[in-house]
């Protein structure tokens, strides 16, 4: 399995030894060695997955990177955090998913009516299996917040990156805290998480 590390906070380094990984199309900034780049479609699901992408509008355009060498990835100076999955799953904002190794599968799912449209609409991406997932965080390092029955969590949807565990996501319509300046396309709701798990957020509102 490809080894993932970071060089500083914002460059992902993959050491390929005859294997492959998937990463956001266009995110390669440099490489050395004998490496090939191919269009992986939408998470390797073939034609049906490609159709799903068209229908959902969930933008997840991956490329498959394979061979022997070192590949460097980056996206828009965003922070990168590597999370390990061990036969479990995580819900991720498609725009914040940088790379996947191993046998990790991706699936796009309807996540419920959210009212006003955000860039990602009504769908979320679920990654599952065993391997490493590289997450992007805009505006600074990713922040991991635990959720427990004793302490539920409320999150600005534009800062939400991912969640894992057994969490129940609901919508809170009190948005007095939302800014009217600059007429941002902010959501008319906040996300509330109950249950047991971890929520990942980024410092910058999308």
Partner 1 sequence: MPLELVNSKVVKSTLAPGQNVLARKGAMLYYTGDVHFIPHSMGGAASGMPSMGGVAGMAGRMMSGEHVAMMAAEGQGEVFYGHAGLYVEVIHLDGSSMLTVEADRLLVHDGYLQSSIVALTSQGGVRGAVRGAMTGQGLFTTQLTGQGSVAVLSHGGAIPLQVGPQHPQVVVDPQAYVCHIGNISVDISANVGWRDAVGRGSGEAIQLKMTGTGTVWVQASEQKF
Partner 2 sequence: MGLEIHTPYTLPVNDNVPGNDYAFCVELDGQPWFTSKGAMIAYYGNVRFEPLGQTSMPAIVAARFSSPLYSNDWVLAQGQGKLILGDRGFNINSYDLDDGNLTIRASNLLAFQPTLDLKQSIVPGFLTLLGTGKFLASSNGPVMFAEPPLRIDPEALVGWADCPSPSHHFDAGWMQNFLGAARGFLGANSGEERQFDFTGAGTVLIQSSEKVLDDGHLLRHIESQTVTLGQNSLRALHNTIGSQLQQ
| C-alpha to C-alpha distance for 75 and 56, rounded to whole angstroms | 23
Binding to partner 1 by residue 184, rule CB under 8 A?
A: no
What is the closest distance, in whole angstroms, from the C-beta atom of residue 183 to partner 1 in the complex? 23
Is the CB of 68 or the CB of 154 nearer to partner 1? 68
CB of 65 to partner 1, least distance (A): 8
Tokens of 160: 């939400």
* Burial class for 125, CB neighbours closer than 10 Å (0-12, 13-18, 19+): buried
For the CB of residue 54, give the shortest distance to partner 2 in the complex, in Å. 31
Q: Binder to partner 1 among 18, 32, 87, 180 (CB under 8 A)?
A: 32
Is residue 4 near partner 2 by the rule CB under 8 A?
no
Select the binding partner of residue 46 from partner 2, partner 1, none (C-beta < 5 to 8 A, by kind).
none
Question: Number of C-alpha atoms within 13 angstroms, CB side, residue 6?
Answer: 21
How far is it, in rounded angstroms, from Cα 190 to Cα 154? 7
CB half-sphere exposure, 37, CA atoms < 13 A: 17
Gap between the terminal Cα atoms of the chain:
32
What's the closest the beta carbon of residue 134 comes to partner 1, in angstroms?
A: 13
Q: Between residues 42 and 138, which has the closer beta carbon with respect to partner 2?
A: 138
Restricted to residues 135-164, the positions that interact with partner 2 (CB under 8 A) are: 138-146, 148, 151-156, 159
How far CA 13 is from CA of 9, 57, 61, 105, in Å, comes to: 11, 29, 20, 21
Among 81, 95, 96, 120, contact with partner 2 (rule: CB under 8 A): 81
Q: Which of residues 34 and 84 has its CB atom nearest to partner 2 in the complex?
A: 84
Tell whether residue 178 is a contact of partner 2 (CB under 8 A).
Answer: yes
Rounded to a whole number of angstroms, the minimum distance from the CB of residue 79 to partner 2 is 9
Phi and psi at residue 169, to the nearest 5°:
-100, 130
Pick what 151 binds: partner 2, partner 1, none; C-beta below 5 to 8 Å, kind-dependent.
partner 2
Give the interface segment with partner 1, choosing from 29-37, 99-107, 111-119, 192-200 (CB under 8 A): 29-37
Measured CA to CA, the distance from residue 187 to residue 175 in angstroms comes to 9
Give me Rg for the CA atoms of the chain.
Answer: 17
Cβ-contact 90, 126 below 8 angstroms: yes
- Interacting residues with partner 1 between 57 and 116 (CB under 8 A): 61, 63-64, 72, 74-78
């Amino acid at each position: 399995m490809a080894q993932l590390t970071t060089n500083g906070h914002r460059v992902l380094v993959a050491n390929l030894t005859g294997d492959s990984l998937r990463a956001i199309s266009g995110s390669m900034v440099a490489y050395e060695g004998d490496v090939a780049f191919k269009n992986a479609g939408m998470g390797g699901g073939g034609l049906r997955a490609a159709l799903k992408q068209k229908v959902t509008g969930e933008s997840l355009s991956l490329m498959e990177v394979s061979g022997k060498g070192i590949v460097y990835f980056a996206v828009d100076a965003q922070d990168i955090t590597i999370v390990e999955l061990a036969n479990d799953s995580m819900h991720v904002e498609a725009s914040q998913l940088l790379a996947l190794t191993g046998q990790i599968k991706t699936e796009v799912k309807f996540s419920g009516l959210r009212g006003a449209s955000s860039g990602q609409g009504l769908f979320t991406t679920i990654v599952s299996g065993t391997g490493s997932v590289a997450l992007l965080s805009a505006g600074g390092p990713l922040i991991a917040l635990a959720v427990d029955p004793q302490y539920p969590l409320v999150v600005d949807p534009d800062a939400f990156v991912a969640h894992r565990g057994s969490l129940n996501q609901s919508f809170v319509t009190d948005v007095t805290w939302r800014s009217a300046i600059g007429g941002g396309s902010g959501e008319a709701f906040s996300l509330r998480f109950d249950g047991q798990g971890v929520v990942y957020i980024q410092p910058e509102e999308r």
